[in-house]
Amino acid sequence: MALSELERLVTALGEKPYRARQLYRWLYRLPLATQVDQMSDIGKRLREALAQSTRLHALRLGEAREARDGTRKLVYRVEDGDGAVESVLIPAPGRNTLCISSQLGCAMNCQFCFTGKMGLRRNLVAAEILDQVSLTRNLYETPRDAHSHISNVVFMGMGEPFQNLDNVLKVVEILLDPKGMGFSHNKVTVSTSGLVPEIRRYLRESRANLAVSLNATTNQVRNWIMPINRKYPLEELVETLREEYARDTRRGEKVFFEYVLLGDINDSLEDAKRLLKIAACVPCKVNLIPFNSHAGSEFRPSPLERMEAFRRYLHERGVLVTLRRSRGDDQMAACGQLGSPGFESMPPRMRVPEAFQHLVQRRSADTTA
């Protein structure tokens, strides 16, 4: 619940509105309450009423797996038992980033993504999204140890956040509220595959960062690997971003373009040249991401030297660009590896463009062999 909702709740229970601010602090500020009885400055009558009519958590921890590099994959079970929500805690010097999910599965059917093979089972409600942050903080944060604090939250786990935008915006509001979780607006990032109307709404209603999964520089390739491009093609997506960032110069931020490098698919010098033209239209930072392999995929990672050449080409021409390294892939915790597909009911694979059919056929044959 947001603060205004808590105020309505406590008023309905016969209490003064200021009790909502006390509740809000117990729910979202460290140390977080795990049960109502821990809320020591709230009267017994209200605590009893809350215990009977509310619950503090919508998820429960199923398992936590730690990769060799310290990345932790957290598998949370939902109350109705219809699946598991996965989050990833990524430690790095000077920051700890929590990657959270907004849906069970995903409807976008991006061809390189393991989660996309699940299809969409349902949206997560706001409590299920926010509980990934609350429970992970309770597990790993120590109030007196600044190095343990989660500094960044990214909506880059399972699902397309903009298909669940009402709940995502509500969670972002609580994350950014100084009286709530108190994250800085430039430490919270929501990612989308490119839903144009929702991008406009998000940029007008939220101060948090925007990331766009670009992953291709032509409609031919993007139509194949990201079917959403058939509805909102590259030209419309880029023009929307250009218009919105020009309209609101007060934002002052850059859009983050995420670009997964797929060997021989989108990693050529010509792709880098086209990406340079896109970057010239929109204030942006480009995050190049190595493809993280998974069983049954027809894609392969781009060779390291080609990824570095791609990065260097953009950097030398003034683009703010980074080449990420994979984190947690030995525990299927890396980008694009979350979820548990039921392979008996996978979404359909998209038709491979003729120019790439020989490549995919050869890789499929190598995998079978």
Cα(184)–Cα(87) distance, integer angstroms: 20
Cα(186)–Cα(200) distance, integer angstroms: 18
For range 92-119, the mean pLDDT: 94
Query: What confidence category does residue 364 fall into, taking pLDDT thresholds of 50, 70 and 90?
Result: low
Cβ count within 10 A of residue 156: 22
For range 219-224, the mean pLDDT: 98
Cα(330)–Cα(262) distance, integer angstroms: 19
For range 6-19, the mean pLDDT: 95
For the chain, give the longest Cα–Cα distance: 71
Cα(317)–Cα(275) distance, integer angstroms: 11
Residue 1: CA atoms inside 13 Å, Cβ hemisphere, count? 18
| Choice among 49-63, 106-120, 240-254, 259-273 with the minimum mean pLDDT | 240-254
Q: What tokens were used for 105? A: 């599965």
**Facing residues of 64 across strands?**
74
> How many whole angstroms from its chain centre is CA 86?
11
Query: What confidence category does residue 360 fall into, taking pLDDT thresholds of 50, 70 and 90?
Result: confident
Residue 276 phi/psi, 5° resolution? Answer: -60, -40
Query: What confidence category does residue 247 fall into, taking pLDDT thresholds of 50, 70 and 90?
Result: confident
Residue 60 has pLDDT above 90, yes or no: yes
List 106, 110, 284, 335, catalytic entry: 335
Element (H, E) at 153: strand 152-155
For range 283-298, the mean pLDDT: 90
Residue 289 has pLDDT above 70, yes or no: yes
Q: What tokens were used for 296? A: 């049954």
pLDDT of amino acid 41: 92
Element (H, E) at 203: helix 196-205
For range 91-98, the mean pLDDT: 94
Using an 8 Å Cβ cutoff, are 123 and 167 in contact?
yes
For range 244-267, the mean pLDDT: 88
In the residue annotation, 86 being an active-site residue is answered as yes
pLDDT of amino acid 335: 81
In the residue annotation, 335 being an active-site residue is answered as yes
Cβ count within 10 A of residue 237: 23
pLDDT of amino acid 343: 57
Using an 8 Å Cβ cutoff, are 219 and 234 in contact?
yes
For range 214-222, the mean pLDDT: 98
DSSP letter for each residue of 29-57: SSSPPSSGGG-TTS-HHHHHHHHHH--S-
Residue 365 has pLDDT above 70, yes or no: no
| Choice among 8-22, 139-153, 278-292, 330-344 with the minimum mean pLDDT | 330-344
pLDDT of amino acid 367: 58
Q: SS3 for 120?
A: strand
Nearest CA to 158 out of 84, 233, 210, 254 is that of: 84
Element (H, E) at 313: helix 304-315
Q: Which residue has the higher pLDDT, 126 or 251?
A: 126
Cα(162)–Cα(345) distance, integer angstroms: 24
For range 232-254, the mean pLDDT: 87
Residue 30 has pLDDT above 90, yes or no: no
pLDDT in tens, 166-200: 999 999 999 999 999 999 999 999 999 999 999 99
pTM: 0.94
Nearest CA to 275 out of 313, 230, 229 is that of: 313
List 7, 86, 128, 298, catalytic entry: 86
All domains of the chain, ordered by start, with CATH? Answer: 1-56 (1.10.150.530), 60-367 (3.20.20.70)
For range 66-95, the mean pLDDT: 91
pLDDT in tens, 106-149: 999 999 999 999 999 999 999 999 999 999 999 999 878 888 89
